[in-house]
A and B are shown apart, each in its own frame.
Chain A
Amino acid sequence: MEQSQKTFEILEEAPVIELRDVNKYFGSLHVLQDINLSVKKGEVVVIIGPSGSGKSTLCRTINRLESIDSGEIIIDGVSMPDEGKKLAEIRSQVGMVFQSFNLFAHKTILDNVTIGPIDVLHKSRKEAQAEAMELLKRVGVESQASKVPAQLSGGQQQRVAIARSLAMHPKAILFDEPTSALDPEMIGEVLNVMTELAQDGMTMVVVTHEMNFARRVASRVIFMDGGKILEEGTPDEFFAHPKTQRAKDFLESIKRHES
């Protein structure tokens, strides 16, 4: 009994995403330096840091959209290979939401959401469509299902992109500045969807400049600069008592910007 209890705890503790000593170079630029990061199930990790600090690159390496030069990336206990079918399979378990939405321009909203489940997960069209409509309802764009992306506002497109990720039943979703390309009045609707996702227990890694979102939703904040993780802590700790001068300066500059 005690034994099984213990096993259960270990399983529960196993991170969904784990990066071990990850290093990456762009030519001579050392963009990711000895990154160690572990994201547990249900955690919302918000990555912040100045422009060029490597936040996007970190996000993209987790999905192997960027290769790494050394180290290891482990998704739900499985080490990510460099290429091949196995890589595609692991990728399908980690969703990604981009700054520029990246919906498939030639497909309807509904088809954008169903293509993954049909072609990658081999679900029937009927089942995929039923589920897609549920997801579109969840993110509030079900009335747009038969339109094409260009007919939707940015905020609507980004919510469709989130639905497209969810349709794959991912173990985690990565967000790279999901609201940075949006007009101010649309930022809220996307952040609301993300907040609900977090409350539903989705494991999330979010690169964002929305400090209020970080304060309210993050289980952990990571501060990056110059390709390194400089600080890591709860939002309360981090925003109230940043430890490094870099982080203090960064928060100051943001405050000046926001006021």
Chain B
Amino acid sequence: MSIYELLTQFGDKYLAALLTTWKLTAISFTLAFVIGIVITIMRISPIKPIRFVGDLYVQIFRNIPGAALLIILVYAFPYLNFVWSYYACVLIATSLLPASFCSEYLMAGMNTIGAGQIEAARSIGMTFFQTIKNVVLPQALRSSVLPMTNLLVATMLTTALASQVPLKPTDLTGIVSYINTRTVGGVTAFMISAFLYCATAVIIGQIGSLIDRKVRILR
């Protein structure tokens, strides 16, 4: 089938798939971001066991393949009486994994701050959380916009895991198998999805460098 035929026949399906991928990406990244911040605060906590748990999280979820995690969530967890919808399983997998990278980028961003500013905050009388809120996180976030942009793209690509479970509407990767089981879309069906992934990534990249230029900290 030609691109034209595919688009006239499945155009609305592609649009729905694109929206599904965007939605999964947005939710996953937001969750990953929040979890990543919490894990990072744990990793710099003055209390050792809390630091340990934070580090352990990163070690585990940085090194586990997404497909493996999804299989565990879908097939193994029901044995432990945890039964979640496919949608939830996908979201859990596509949030927990990027969260570990998010934490790594924040840790790298923190290394640019320098102990002096943190001591200054403490000597003003800020508590641990006030120091994190006023000095550490804002600077770590502002100096990790570009890695976070890359993480957002990586998260989007990770949401292709959704194609491994029956979702309705399916995502950009799922749509390819959907079409190919009905007609012979062949590689063209895949090319359309690939183009939509790429276009999204380019837009994300542009917005990311725009934000970076705006918030970069003069040193």
Contact = CB atoms under 8 A, between A and B. Distances in A.
Contact of A91 (B117, B124, B139, B142): B124
Contact of B116 (A89, A102, A115, A116): A102
Nearest to B141: A106
Contacts, number: 74
Interface in A75-111: 83, 85, 88-96, 98, 100-106
Interface residues of B, number: 23
Contacts of B113: 105
Given A105-B219, A106-B139, A150-B219, A96 B125 contact: no
A119 B218 contact: no
A115 B123 contact: no
A65 B119 CA distance: 7
B218 A65 contact: no
Contacts of B46: 83
B135 interface: yes
Nearest to A116: B124
A119 B117 contact: no
Contacts of A83: 46
Interface in B123-145: 123-127, 130, 134-135, 138-139, 142
A219 to B, nearest CB: 23
Contacts of A182: none
B217 interface: yes
B117 A105 contact: yes
B127 A103 contact: no
A104 B117 contact: yes
B26 interface: no
A198 interface: no
B3 interface: no
A148 interface: yes
A115 B219 contact: no
Nearest to A120: B125
Interface of B: 46, 113-114, 116-117, 119-127, 130, 134-135, 138-139, 142, 217-219
26 contacts: A63-B122, A63-B123, A65-B122, A85-B127, A88-B126, A88-B127, A92-B124, A93-B125, A98-B119, A103-B120, A104-B121, A104-B134, A105-B113, A105-B117, A105-B217, A105-B218, A106-B139, A106-B142, A106-B217, A116-B125, A120-B130, A150-B218, A151-B218, A161-B120, A164-B124, A168-B124
